[in-house]
Amino acid sequence: MAMVQNPVLKRPDRPAGAVRLLVLALGAIGASSAFSQTVTLTPSVQSRLTWTDNVGASSDKESDWIAEISPGITVSRKSGRFNGLLSAQLRNVGYANDSSRNTSYLALQGSGQIEAVENLFFVDLNANISRNNLSAFSGRSSTDDLSVDSSNETRTWSIGPRLEFRLGDTATGSVGYKASWLDSGGTTVGGQRLNQLTAQASDPAAVRLFGWGLSYSRSESEYDASTSRDVTEDIGRATLYINVTPQLRLRAIGGYEKNDYASTEDEKGSIYGAGFDWNPTERTAISGTTEERVFGRGYNFSLKHRAQRSTWDLSYVKDISSSLQTLGGGIYQDPQFLAFFNDATLVAAIPDDVQREAFVRILLGYPATGGTGDIVSNAHFVSKTWRAAFSLVGVRNTLTVSAQQSDRSRLSSITGLSAQDDFALSDTVKTTSLTVSFNHKLSGISSLNTAVTHSRSQGASGTGLDTKRLTATVGLTTKLGPQTNAGLTYRYQRSDGSSASSDFTENALTANLGMTF
């Protein structure tokens, strides 16, 4: 396979690029009406009133009333040449006792695909704007939607054209390019751009028993900060498939990679490993891959099982990553989120998309809005992440237990980091969490939701960074009419950290009313 030379890219103007991408995304949705399929346009207004006894989330408690009115619009399309969802809200948050905290901002998340040329040329689009706590060690939890200070804002955008084609009767291939941007509202994280070029071709069953696959990727990460160093990564792989049975396929992997994440000199090395894909039943999928890499041994294992009234999800991944790679796809590109959100048993138990998304975010420990709540940093890191989740779905009750642990190790100290960046405080950041959530349908229009989450974030030995958080919520939601919903939620939150600034407790009561048109 010929190696494609990546062109030299001029450092973009981040805000202008973000605006252009948003206009492109909205324009694509509007243009899609030229196709014969239906576009669903849903305007809405959400309002909330919250009383909290610790508005600043600090050891010095101060109570306040917080009012929010958020007009929004959701555009979706699930068929035809364009498939996607774009949801935007103008959040207007006001404080009764401290008007200096008042803020307004656009909260946005969207993901879509345009089939520009049938079965040949596609364009993938993603966008996300949210405000969530950027630190694992201080402040509110990442799931707290009261973290609305402008310094907590992150904005990610991506656009990815790609060609898909056939090679002969059974082989397939693709060539793609994806540009992603990350901006923030404060100094904690500087602007980033990620350029990714990918090419692959495969025929897993070329001669029935054996198949083959080839892939190549090149990533270039650019930074706004003059103290940061742009970095690159190249990875090429060849895969031999062995089709033991229709349900079991083995893989032998060989390749080569190089990157300059940890040093100004390239780290180079061979890739060799093995994997398998096993589908013992229609409801069960198990896959695993292990490879020797330049950073050590990498892993990617997953188990997914769907029974009539239960779901099981287990996964473990060890690989090089960055905030822009994990956040750039948005919540609608996260496999863990989609596995639960689209699960048939959970859809039947919670048919309302908004309520089901909120429930899945709670059980996975994700923020109430925005992305997955992953660490936000300018550093590249080796990430070891395992997740386990179990849901038991009954006629009126849904119980879910979710546990996860993320252990991230910074690859280099030479990339300039803000003093507030968690990786500037510690070479490693380890976060463990356990969530138990329960949904009970009181009637056809009302439900009771409860959740308890316990988490712990730790820095490297000797840093003294160690924060434990406990969050418990109980809420009632109901429909007042076909297009009107209401709810009442109580939340208790406690944080115990290694420093006084990390210690606080909070009681909060929120009433909400929402309407769609």
φ, ψ dihedrals at 364, nearest 5° = -90, -5
What is the arithmetic mean of pLDDT over 209-218? 96
Q: Which comes out higher in pLDDT, residue 154 or 173?
A: 173
58 has a pLDDT exceeding 50: yes
* Tokens matching residue 493: 């939150």
Query: Is residue 331 within 8 Å of residue 372, measured between CB atoms?
Result: yes
> What are the start-end ranges of the H helices in 32-143?
none
Pick the range with the lowest mean pLDDT from 83-97, 234-248, 274-288, 404-418.
Answer: 404-418
- In this prediction, residue 414 carries a pLDDT of 57
- Using CA atoms, how far apart are residues 264 and 66, in angstroms rounded to an integer? 49
- In this prediction, residue 14 carries a pLDDT of 43
What three-state secondary structure class fits 406? strand
Nearest-CA neighbor of 293 among 313, 265, 315, 321? 321
pLDDT band at 484 (very low <50, low <70, confident <90, very high): very high
- In this prediction, residue 333 carries a pLDDT of 62
- Cβ within 8 Å of residue 19, ≥6 positions away: none
Q: What is the DSSP code (8-state) at residue 10? A: P
- In 3-state terms the chain splits into helix, strand, coil percentages (rounded to 5) of 15, 55, 30
Radius of gyration for the alpha carbons in the chain, expressed in angstroms and rounded: 23
End-to-end CA distance of the chain: 53
- Cβ within 8 Å of residue 79, ≥6 positions away: 37, 38
How many residues are present in the chain? 517
- Pairing assessment for the beta strands 296-306 and 466-481 based on DSSP bridges: unpaired
* Tokens matching residue 279: 């589908």
**For 164-204, how does the pLDDT look when each residue is reduced to its tens digit (9 = 90+)?**
999 888 899 999 999 999 888 877 788 889 999 999 999 99
140 has a pLDDT exceeding 70: yes
The overall average pLDDT reported for the chain is 84
- In this prediction, residue 37 carries a pLDDT of 57
Nearest-CA neighbor of 433 among 467, 460, 465? 467
φ, ψ dihedrals at 464, nearest 5° = 75, 10
- Using CA atoms, how far apart are residues 484 and 210, in angstroms rounded to an integer? 57
What three-state secondary structure class fits 17? helix
Nearest-CA neighbor of 470 among 445, 434, 517? 434
pLDDT band at 13 (very low <50, low <70, confident <90, very high): very low
What is the arithmetic mean of pLDDT over 497-504? 78
Q: What is the DSSP code (8-state) at residue 308? A: S
| Per-residue burial over 109-137, b = 16 or more CB atoms within 10 Å of its CB, e = otherwise | bbbbbbbeeeeeebbbbbbbbbbbbbbbb
> At which residue do the structure tokens 């809200």 appear?
89
- Cβ within 8 Å of residue 284, ≥6 positions away: 303, 304, 305, 306
Sign of CA pseudo-dihedral 374, 377, 378, 380? negative
pLDDT band at 331 (very low <50, low <70, confident <90, very high): low
- In this prediction, residue 6 carries a pLDDT of 37
| Per-residue burial over 317-345, b = 16 or more CB atoms within 10 Å of its CB, e = otherwise | bbebbbbbbbbbbbbbbbebbebbbebeb
162 has a pLDDT exceeding 60: yes
Pick the range with the lowest mean pLDDT from 128-142, 155-169, 320-334.
Answer: 320-334
- In this prediction, residue 33 carries a pLDDT of 43
- Cβ within 8 Å of residue 249, ≥6 positions away: 204, 241, 242, 243, 276, 277, 278
- Using CA atoms, how far apart are residues 88 and 109, in angstroms rounded to an integer? 7
pLDDT band at 7 (very low <50, low <70, confident <90, very high): very low
- In this prediction, residue 401 carries a pLDDT of 92
- Pairing assessment for the beta strands 484-496 and 504-516 based on DSSP bridges: antiparallel
**For 336-384, how does the pLDDT look when each residue is reduced to its tens digit (9 = 90+)?**
677 777 777 677 767 766 667 777 776 666 666 666 656 778 888 999 9
- Using CA atoms, how far apart are residues 257 and 516, in angstroms rounded to an integer? 51
Q: What is the DSSP code (8-state) at residue 465? A: -
Nearest-CA neighbor of 124 among 174, 156, 82? 82
pLDDT band at 10 (very low <50, low <70, confident <90, very high): very low
* Tokens matching residue 287: 């896959």
